[in-house]
């Protein structure tokens, strides 16, 4: 076994190297992951079809409409029809079926809508940036590997903290000591958060995409597709036989009330119609168990199935009848996606995400401080590239909602234009950080441009959608109002930070002549 | 002879070779151990596959530390070879 001093040395060096390797990609994932905590609200804000004040508890009634809509849009047949009920995640009622375009119904007016995919452009793009799927083939496994790196850093960092506490006295006051204490305090504060999100991220990103060896080994080399082995056990879909003769169905609201009566703990989120309108038709109501939200997440929904014509209970699948692994997996997914939780928990998790980002950035500054007096351009160039990534991401991402509202809805390939502009804008900041000598100027301009873009996107949102924040307030469209307010507040914070940066002498420490002025 | 001396040299700091071999070794051993665990666990496919997949990222870290704290490069290689052999036996004969 190694001596204690050598263990410390090895731990310290490995923490630095792995930290620098995973820092930038994981920072990107954390940044967009933190934004996607607010995805349900962002989806409403970015989609003109969702700009209305929903009724209390997202109430709806499609009794008079359902039969006609199903028939008119060719949903009646042997394939099950999925109805996603309006909720805080999406205030529209969605009707979908295999290999068919989804239909959306405004629950207030009962108007049938065809919502374009582009309406959720911002949330989809941010989510793809978070998962790394924007990098073809290797993106998701790469993000998974970064998550494993964060697990290593969390364990190693805590180990280092314990070692250092028993072996060293505190160093004298310096910026290095300041960054170290920031890195230490923020790092210790987010240990549970980092462990949960890094472990779930590693599972979702890396393990699910590289599960072949496990399946191959378990089946002694006969099957290497994990999903074909696991899906029939965990995600088995019920099969109901339907007759040919038509039959009168009970109204949907009556069936929903009956399901709720038989299973009061179930908070219904979805309903599946089997052979609707025919003899033997069934309706399966699914949702989460109010007493155990974590275990009844999206991969393990308890359900109750009713006969659609008589209302009799056909199947009652409570949480204790589900597979143990499904419950574990559901808890696991719940910890990462918090699917059924509303704003409170999402704000808390977003704050932890921000602390994680600060921890990563202070870790970088700790290393940068060490390299400050190194000769040559490498340390300076690394600092500049880091600024382009760590801070340049803010104006680049602020450009996306701005363009979403500025560009015409009808613009051909709008999504590609916006995505392309995002990458071009981010590249511009990379160029600018190398071109401009003053680091304070670079950071200040990045923050100011992000602040202006956020402010302008609120303005254009109002102009294009007709929902300025005072109108949202009067119409009690609270999600729109609070989203606009949050963007304005973020913009003000960014303006303040830009001013603060200009006054801080600290940033001049990292300033040298600049790449084009020579060293 | 020079290679043998290099492999047996006591390290005071982690070099690139030590780092890269540790990194690759940790991932390789974790996947092999995960494959062994999927054979050792009892129950249906879900009970055997998913727990071993959940444990693999943690195993990467454990093996990472274990390999990292090796005095010489030879120690790292011996540890990898030994565990790879044990796992290979489990996968082949269990």
pLDDT at A98: 87
A185 at interface of B, judged by CB pairs closer than 8 A: no
CB pair distance less than 8 Å for B60 and A323:
no
Which residue is associated with the tokens 């079926």? A97
pLDDT attached to residue A146: 95
Question: What whole-number distance in Å separates Cα of residue B76 and Cα of residue A358?
Answer: 35
CB of A303 within 8 A of CB of A274?
no
Give percent of chain A above pLDDT 70: 95
C-alpha–C-alpha distance, residues A491 and A489, integer Å: 5
Helices (H), A244-392: 252-262, 324-337, 343-370, 378-390
Q: Which residues, 6+ apart, have CB-to-CB distance to A155 below 8 Å?
A: B61, B65
Query: Who among A210, A216, A329 is closest to B50 (CB)?
Result: A329
Residue B48, burial from CB neighbour count under 10 angstroms (0-12, 13-18, 19+) = buried
Looking at residue A125, what is its pLDDT?
A: 95
- Beta bridge pairs of residue A112: A105
Q: Which of A93, A105, A119, A92 is CA-nearest to residue A464?
A: A119
Chain A residues touching residue B51 (CB < 8 angstroms): 325
| Yes or no, beta carbons of A1 and B53 under 8 Å apart | no
Rounded to 10 deg, the angle between the A139-167 and A4-36 helix axes is 130
The residues facing A306 across adjacent strands are A283, A313
- Do A230 and B39 count as a contact with CB atoms less than 8 A apart? no
Whether A4 shows a pLDDT value over 80: the answer reads no
Handedness of CA A449, A450, A456, A457 (dihedral sign): positive
- Kindly determine whether residue B49 and residue A148, on different chains, have CB atoms separated by under 8 Å: no
Q: Which helix (H) or strand (E) holds A314?
A: strand A313-317
Q: What are phi and psi of A310, to 5 degrees?
A: -110, -20
pLDDT digit string, tens, across residues A261-288? 999 999 999 999 999 888 889 999 999 9
- 3-class DSSP assignment, residue A414: helix
Which member of A9, A218, A332 has the closest CB to residue B13? A9
Give residue A411's pLDDT: 85
Q: Give the C-alpha separation, A240 to A252, whole Å.
A: 19
Instruction: Kindly indicate the confidence band of residue A247, based on its pLDDT and cuts at 50, 70 and 90.
Output: confident
Q: Residue A519 has what pLDDT?
A: 46
Which residues make beta-bridge pairs with A288?
A267
Who's near A256: CB < 8 A, 6+ residues apart? A268, A271, A285
A154: nearest CA partner in chain B: B61
Of A10, A211, A323, the CB nearest to B68: A10
CA distances from A192 to A98, A335, A338, A471, A504 (A): 40, 11, 16, 41, 33
Q: Do the beta carbons of residue A304 and residue A317 sit within 8 Å?
A: yes
How does residue A455 score in pLDDT terms, banded at 50, 70 and 90? very high
Q: Is A94 helix (H, G, I), strand (E, B) or coil?
A: strand
Using CA atoms, how far residue A514 sits from A43, A161, A195, A283, A510, in Å, is 42, 36, 39, 68, 10
Q: Give the SS3 label for residue A287.
A: strand
Question: Band of the pLDDT at A383, cuts 50, 70, 90?
Answer: confident
Q: What is the mean pLDDT of chain A?
A: 89
**Tens digit of pLDDT for each residue in A18-46?**
999 999 999 999 999 999 999 999 999 99
Tokens linked to B40: 């050792």
Count other C-beta atoms under 10 Å from residue B88's C-beta: 13
A446: tokens are 């990045």
CB contact under 8 A, A214 and B49: yes
Predicted local confidence at residue A168, as pLDDT = 57
Contacts of A80 by beta carbon, 8 Å cutoff, 6+ apart: A97, A98, A237, A272, A273, A274
* A217: nearest CB among B14, B38, B71: B38
Range 3-42 of A in CB contact (< 8 A) with B:
6-7, 9-11, 13-14, 17
Query: Range with the lowest mean pLDDT among A173-177, A375-379, B53-57?
Result: A375-379
Tell me the C-alpha distance between A187 and A411, whole Å: 45
> Rounded distance, CA A478 to CA A55, Å?
12
Which residues, other chains included, contact A407 with Cβ-Cβ below 8 Å and sequence gap of 6+? A414, A417, A418
**B79 interaction partners in chain A (CB closer than 8 Å):** none
Indicate yes or no: CB of B34 within 8 angstroms of CB of A230.
no
Give the separation between CA A398 and CA A395, rounded to whole angstroms: 5
> Which residues in chain B have their CB less than 8 angstroms from residue A151's CB?
57-58, 60-61
The three-state DSSP-derived secondary structure of A132-175 is CCCCCCCHHHHHHHHHHHHHHHHHHHHHHHHHHHHHCCCCCCCH
In tens, the pLDDT along A311-366 reads 999 999 998 888 999 999 999 889 888 888 888 999 999 999 999 999 999 999 88
Q: Which residues of B touch A9 (CB under 8 A)?
A: 12-13
Determine whether the interchain pair B34/A329 forms a contact, defined as Cβ–Cβ distance below 8 Å: no
* Average pLDDT of the residues of chain B: 91
Q: Least CB-CB distance to A229: which of B35, B49, B57?
A: B49
* A414, A442, A502, B18 from A510: Cα distances, Å: 39, 12, 14, 32
Tell me the two tokens of residue B72.
């010489």
Q: Is A151 on the interface with B (CB under 8 A)?
A: yes
User: Would you place residue A167 in the very low, low, confident or very high pLDDT band (cuts 50, 70, 90)?
Assistant: low
Reduce the DSSP state of residue A103 to 3 states and report it.
strand
- The more confidently predicted of residues A418 and A64 is A418
- Cα gap B54→A336, rounded to integer Å: 14
Q: Given pLDDT bands bounded at 50, 70 and 90, which one contains residue A421?
A: very high
CB spacing of B61 vs A230 below 8 angstroms: no
Q: Which of A151, A152, A227, A328 to mutate to test the interface with B (most CBs of B within 10 A)?
A: A152
Work out the minimum CA distance from B81 to partner chain A, whole angstroms: 18
Cα separation of the two ends of chain A: 45
CA–CA distance, A238 with B43 (Å, rounded to integer): 23
Query: Which residues, including other chains, have CB under 8 Å from residue A490's CB and lie 6 or more apart?
Result: A451, A454
Q: Test A147 with B57 for CB contact under 8 angstroms.
A: yes
Q: Do B68 and A9 touch (CB under 8 A)?
A: no
Please, what sign has the CA dihedral across residues A378, A382, A385, A387? negative
Coil/strand/helix, residue A268: strand
Is residue A372 predicted with pLDDT exceeding 90?
Answer: no
A136 token code pair: 């073809």
pLDDT of A55 over the 70 cut: yes
Question: Is A214 within 8 Å of B34 when comparing Cβ atoms?
Answer: yes
Distance to chain A for B18, nearest Cα, Å: 11
The SS3 call for residue A3 is coil
User: Cα–Cα distance between B21 and B30 in angstroms, integer?
Assistant: 14
Q: Which of A107-111, A511-515, B21-25, B88-92 has the lowest mean pLDDT?
A: A511-515
Q: Residue B61's closest chain A neighbor by CA? A: A152
B-chain residues near A144 (CB < 8 A): 57
Range in A21-25, A176-180, A487-491 with the lowest mean pLDDT: A176-180
pLDDT at A65 over 50: yes
DSSP labels, A192-244: HHHHHHHHHHHIIIIIGGG-HHHHHHHTTTS---HHHHHHHHHSPPP-----S
> pLDDT under 50 in chain B at which residues?
none
The tokens of A95 are what?
Answer: 């009707």
Tell me what percent of the residues of chain A surpass a pLDDT of 90.
64
The predicted pLDDT at position A460 comes to: 96
Q: What is the pLDDT of residue B86?
A: 95
Residue A492's pLDDT band, with cuts at 50, 70 and 90, is very high
- Is B25 within 8 Å of chain A by CB? no
Q: Please, what are the domains in chain A?
A: 1-47+116-210+342-373 (no CATH), 48-114 (no CATH), 241-337 (3.10.450), 375-519 (no CATH)
B53 touches A at CB < 8 Å = yes
- Mode of pairing for the β-strands spanning A112-113 and A93-97: unpaired
* A402 in Cβ contact with A456 (< 8 Å): yes
CA distance B6 to chain A (A): 18
The token duo for A395 is 């104006």
Please write the tens of the pLDDT for every residue from A296-308. 988 899 999 999 9
Chain A residues lying within 8 Å of B69, measured CB to CB: 1-2, 7, 10
């Amino acid at each position: 076994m190694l001596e204690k001093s050598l263990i410390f040395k090895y731990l310290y060096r490995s923490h630095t190297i792995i930290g620098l390797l995973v820092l930038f990609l994981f920072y990107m994932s954390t940044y967009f992951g933190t934004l996607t905590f607010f995805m349900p609200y962002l989806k409403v804000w970015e989609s003109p079809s969702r700009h209305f004040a929903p009724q209390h508890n997202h109430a709806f009634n499609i009794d008079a409409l359902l039969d006609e809509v199903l028939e008119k849009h060719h949903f009646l047949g042997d394939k099950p029809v999925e109805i996603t009920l309006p909720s805080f995640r999406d205030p529209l009622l969605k009707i979908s079926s295999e290999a068919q375009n989804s239909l959306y119904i405004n629950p207030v007016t009962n108007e049938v809508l065809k919502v374009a995919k582009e309406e959720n452009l911002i949330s989809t793009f941010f989510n793809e940036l978070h998962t790394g799927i924007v990098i073809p083939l290797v993106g998701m496994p790469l993000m998974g590997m970064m998550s494993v790196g964060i697990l290593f850093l969390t364990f190693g960092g805590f180990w280092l903290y314990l070692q250092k506490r028993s072996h060293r006295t505190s160093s004298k006051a310096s910026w290095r000591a300041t960054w170290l204490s920031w890195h230490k305090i923020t790092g210790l504060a987010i240990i549970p958060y980092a462990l949960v999100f890094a472990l779930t991220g590693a599972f979702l990103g890396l393990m699910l995409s590289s599960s072949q060896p496990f399946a191959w080994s378990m089946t002694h080399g006969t099957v290497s597709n994990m999903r074909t082995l696991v899906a029939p056990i965990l995600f088995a879909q019920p099969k109901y036989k339907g007759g040919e003769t038509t039959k009168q169905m009970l109204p949907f609201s009556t069936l929903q009330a009956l399901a709720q009566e038989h299973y009061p703990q179930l908070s219904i989120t979805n309903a599946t119609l089997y052979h609707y309108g025919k003899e033997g038709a069934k309706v399966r109501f699914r949702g989460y168990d109010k007493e155990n939200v974590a275990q009844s997440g999206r991969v393990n929904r308890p359900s109750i199935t009713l006969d659609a014509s008589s209302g009799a209970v056909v199947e009652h699948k409570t949480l204790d009848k589900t597979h143990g692994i499904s419950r574990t997996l559901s808890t696991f997914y719940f910890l990462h996606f918090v699917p059924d939780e509303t704003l409170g928990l999402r704000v808390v998790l977003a704050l932890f995400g921000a602390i994680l980002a600060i921890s990563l950035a202070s870790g970088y500054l700790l290393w940068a401080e060490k390299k400050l007096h190194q000769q040559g351009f490498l340390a300076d160039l690394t600092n500049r590239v880091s600024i382009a990534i760590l801070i340049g991401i803010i104006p680049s991402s602020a450009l996306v909602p701005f363009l979403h509202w500025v560009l015409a809805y009808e613009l051909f390939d709008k999504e590609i234009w916006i995505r392309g502009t995002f990458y071009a804008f981010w590249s511009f900041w990379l160029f600018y950080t190398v071109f401009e000598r003053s680091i304070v100027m670079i950071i200040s301009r990045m923050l100011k441009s992000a602040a202006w873009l956020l402010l302008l996107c609120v303005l254009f949102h109002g102009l294009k959608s007709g929902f300025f924040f005072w109108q949202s307030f009067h119409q009690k469209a609270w999600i729109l109002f609070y989203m606009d307010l949050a963007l304005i507040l973020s913009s003000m914070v960014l303006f303040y930070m830009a001013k603060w940066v200009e006054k801080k002498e600290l940033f001049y420490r990292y300033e040298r002549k600049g790449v084009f002025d020579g060293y | 002879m020079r290679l043998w001396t290099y492999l047996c040299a006591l390290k005071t700091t982690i070099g690139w070779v030590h780092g890269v071999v540790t990194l690759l070794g940790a991932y390789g051993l974790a996947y092999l151990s995960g494959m062994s665990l999927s054979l050792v666990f009892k129950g249906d496919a879900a009970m055997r596959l998913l727990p071993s997949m959940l444990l693999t990222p943690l195993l990467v870290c454990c093996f990472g530390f274990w390999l990292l704290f090796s005095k010489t490069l030879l120690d790292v290689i011996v540890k990898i070879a030994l565990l790879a052999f044990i796992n290979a036996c489990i996968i082949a004969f269990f």
